Structure 1
Amino acid sequence: MRESAVQRHDRLLTLVREHGTARVTDLAARLGVSPVTVRRDVETLTRKGLVERAHGSVSWPRPRTGEAGAGGLGARPVLGLLAPSATYYFAEVIHGAHEAAARAGARLVLRISDYRPEGDRTRAEGLLAAGAEGLLIAPGWRDRADPAEHGGWLAGLPVPAVLLERTADPGGPLAALDRVCSDHAHGVLLALRHLAGQGHAAPVLVARADSPTALAVRTGYDEALRALGLERPHPVIDAPAGRDPEGFERGVQALWTAVTAGRVTAALVHNDVDAIQLVQRLAELGIRVPGELALVAYDDEVAALADTPLTAV
């Protein structure tokens, strides 16, 4: 399966971050795409404030004039942000943190984990070595075992820390940390309520299981079914699109079978990219969205850009 734009943006940002400045032609060669594609990607990332471009080159963003406090650059407090990715909704998180830090007269230092939780501690230590006096941390956890296996060090940080988009087990070593999370359970409830309001029986969930968000969506799905008095119409369908093309095709076939057998008329799909790919593949199999299947995408990042714009939360 071809690399998605989101995955390509991640690789582009990693290259720019590593080199500080890179030429568009060099990036195209490293990414294996045309310079036109790279320029289009750079325009998108520039609009989000994640890179700067000038004269055929791309640079990591520099602090804007006026961001420094009265005491100059050396007097500004430093905050560290560890994120698993610099694209998709984490692009908005990074951009928002950068702007909030600037308003507070602080400088934000960024490290990206690429969803490799075994390296989170080293990256956090790098932020501390860079002078970070507080940390915003979204660990690169992917499954339920990762917090216990790779997260214990968070409880011993020598500076204030806030978990981003991650939860902690009540009573566990990380429970004392402050945390800020999206309310995925409420988002799933909104999606199911929308579909039920259109006269559909309980929608099937098509979702990944390879990130904390995906796991939260799955938990929220069961909670939403109970809240709405609905029964699960079909087991959750796995959709590991980007990492397992064969597994994704199995998910497509499972959904196609459920729809053609009349067991399912609606679906909630996490995430947007998977939803777009799913709609395209179903069309090849003769299932039209929204004709034969009502579908809501979960994430609302790129759903509106599909051939048939998708409803999303």
Structure 2
Amino acid sequence: MRLHVDQRHERVLALVRERGSLRVAELAAELGVSAVTLRRDVEALAGQGRVRRLHGAVVWPGDGTTAETRARREPAAENAGAARSGSAAGVVIGMIVPTTASVFADLVRGAREAVAAQGGRLVLGVSGHVDTEDAVQAGHLLPGGAEGLLVAPSWSTGAPVDGQERWLLEREVPVVLVERAAPPGSPAAALDRVRTDHAHGAAVAVGHFAALGHRRITAVLQEGPHADRILKGYRSAVRSLGLDDIRDAPSFPEHGDHESSVEHLVDAVRGRGVTAALVHGDEDAIVLVPRLQARGIRVPDDLALIAYDDEVAGLADVPLTAVAPPRRSVGEEAAKLLLRRLAERGSGQAPAPRQHIELLPELRIRSSCGTGSRAR
């Protein structure tokens, strides 16, 4: 029979009083309720001063000495003591990503290392680029003991549409968006987030072209979550530097639409005097180089090229200068931010203002831009 909330609270108090401290997940299992429900109970009791909540553990608020003695005897309370000293020992963080391949591998690695460095554990959910699967994965991770979520939602444009963000707002645990953002006015815009400043990365690429003397440039950008910001940064830098942007041909060919990209670049070079191009991403740029050469356009002699992403750009036959987003650092900073939110919640202190953190990419110079002035 399901216990009434008051009965459940009394049972929680009895168990914690008897044992000194308990893991939230263990207590939820013993009472036959979800971890979310149990956390809500514990927070209510902690607010009344009847128990103490410490990073995944519930501690009886005795005279201090007894609780500390028991803490040394039980792993769960050991984790709680570590939390008081600023560690996140024993905390479980859930992370949801569209895939573990490509750019997300470094994001996951950075988050995992940051959590492990504080004694916690990262558990992973993969949505497979299906937006409805994000909530399904959260539904597995939270009852399994995850106390907070790092989420890179499967939003095809990088921002939510048609209520895709609603499930995030219904969670009763701290959430940090990773490489995603909700627009101003969206309820999810108030969530913490950490992402790459892709507009800055594109602007740095344009600035490099300008420094080499290129005046007429173009871009070939694939559709995806970061395309809009890359394009905005590219066009803003073109305007600021007084360059000519050639954009008559399709600006957003789908990934793998190499023939369209080649035709655009051939026309731009031969018919419009273009001498430089930004290509997103690396794989497309690598494919384009020999196809352009087959059409008589050499990189970098006839066309300087900068790739965006720098996953494999340095392995091209002509090593490609590339914009390199700080993916591992994004994952690391997102995890640290989430751990701070959990520490605030565990100590009962007022939460600090929400944060929107953007990390800057860097430009890695290789052979594909050549040297010297190319002004025409």
User: Whole-Å Cα distance in 2 between the matches of residues 203 and 126 of structure 1?
Assistant: 48
The amino acid that maps onto 2:139 is E
The amino acid that maps onto 1:277 is V
- Asked if the contact 1:259–1:293 (Cα under 8 Å) also holds between the matched residues in 2, the reply is yes
The corresponding residue for 2:278 is: 268
Deviation at 1:184, TM superposition (A): 0.7
After superposition, give the CA deviation of every residue in 1:156-207 in whole Å (9 maximum; x if it has no partner): 2210000000111112111110000101111111100001111111421100
After superposition, give the CA deviation of every residue in 1:38-72 in whole Å (9 maximum; x if it has no partner): xxxxxxxxxxxxxxxxxxxxxxxxxxxxxx99549
- Asked if the contact 2:246–2:268 (Cα under 8 Å) also holds between the matched residues in 1, the reply is no
Residue of structure 2 aligned with 1:224, choices 237, 241, 258: 237
The corresponding residue for 1:25 is: none
- Change over 3 Å in CA distance of 1:194–1:145 after alignment to 2: closer
User: Whole-Å Cα distance in 1 between the matches of residues 196 and 159 of structure 2?
Assistant: 21
Deviation at 1:226, TM superposition (A): 2.6
Gaps of 5+ in 2: 1-75, 81-88, 324-376
1:274-293 to structure 2, matched below 5 A, reads 274-293=284-303
After superposition, give the CA deviation of every residue in 1:111-158 in whole Å (9 maximum; x if it has no partner): 112221122111121211221100000011113774434222212221
257-266 or 290-299, which deviates more = 257-266
User: Whole-Å Cα distance in 2 between the matches of residues 121 and 256 of structure 1?
Assistant: 45
140-149 or 188-197, which deviates more = 140-149
The corresponding residue for 1:64 is: none
Aligned length: 239
Q: Name the larger-Rg structure.
A: 2
Deviation at 1:289, TM superposition (A): 0.6
Q: Secondary structure at the match of 1:237?
A: coil
After superposition, give the CA deviation of every residue in 1:254-301 in whole Å (9 maximum; x if it has no partner): 211111214311000011111111112212222111011000001111
Q: Secondary structure at the match of 2:196?
A: coil
288-297 or 112-121, which deviates more = 112-121
The corresponding residue for 1:303 is: 313
- Change over 3 Å in CA distance of 1:192–1:113 after alignment to 2: same
The corresponding residue for 2:195 is: 181
Deviation at 1:228, TM superposition (A): 2.1
- 2:176 matches 1:166: no
Residue of structure 2 aligned with 1:250, choices 246, 260, 285: 260
The amino acid that maps onto 1:273 is E
Moved over 6 A (4+): none
- Asked if the contact 1:185–1:224 (Cα under 8 Å) also holds between the matched residues in 2, the reply is no
The corresponding residue for 1:97 is: 111
The corresponding residue for 1:62 is: none
- Change over 3 Å in CA distance of 1:212–1:116 after alignment to 2: same
The corresponding residue for 1:196 is: 210
Q: Secondary structure at the match of 2:246?
A: coil
User: Whole-Å Cα distance in 2 between the matches of residues 298 and 180 of structure 1?
Assistant: 19
Q: Percent identity?
A: 48
User: Whole-Å Cα distance in 2 between the matches of residues 202 and 129 of structure 1?
Assistant: 56
Residue of structure 1 aligned with 2:91, choices 49, 74, 77: 77
- Change over 3 Å in CA distance of 1:69–1:99 after alignment to 2: farther
User: Whole-Å Cα distance in 1 between the matches of residues 158 and 119 of structure 2?
Assistant: 37
- Asked if the contact 1:237–1:254 (Cα under 8 Å) also holds between the matched residues in 2, the reply is no
User: Whole-Å Cα distance in 1 between the matches of residues 291 and 165 of structure 2?
Assistant: 38
- Change over 3 Å in CA distance of 1:121–1:290 after alignment to 2: same
- Change over 3 Å in CA distance of 1:192–1:69 after alignment to 2: farther
- Asked if the contact 1:69–1:76 (Cα under 8 Å) also holds between the matched residues in 2, the reply is no
The corresponding residue for 2:126 is: 112
Q: Secondary structure at the match of 1:269?
A: strand
Residue of structure 2 aligned with 1:212, choices 215, 219, 225: 225
Could you state the TM-score of these two structures normalised by the residue count of structure 2? 0.60
The corresponding residue for 2:144 is: 130
1:40-55 to structure 2, matched below 5 A, reads none
121-130 or 147-156, which deviates more = 147-156
User: Whole-Å Cα distance in 2 between the matches of residues 133 and 225 of structure 1?
Assistant: 45
- 2:131 matches 1:121: no
User: Whole-Å Cα distance in 1 between the matches of residues 296 and 216 of structure 2?
Assistant: 22
Q: Secondary structure at the match of 2:187?
A: coil
User: Whole-Å Cα distance in 1 between the matches of residues 184 and 291 of structure 2?
Assistant: 41
- Asked if the contact 1:85–1:115 (Cα under 8 Å) also holds between the matched residues in 2, the reply is yes
**Structure with bigger RCO (C-alpha 8 Å, 6+ apart):** 2
The amino acid that maps onto 1:300 is D
Q: Secondary structure at the match of 1:261?
A: helix
After superposition, give the CA deviation of every residue in 1:232-275 in whole Å (9 maximum; x if it has no partner): 22246333234xxxx33122112111112143110000111111
- Change over 3 Å in CA distance of 1:231–1:156 after alignment to 2: farther
Gaps of 5+ in 1: 1-67
- Asked if the contact 1:117–1:146 (Cα under 8 Å) also holds between the matched residues in 2, the reply is no
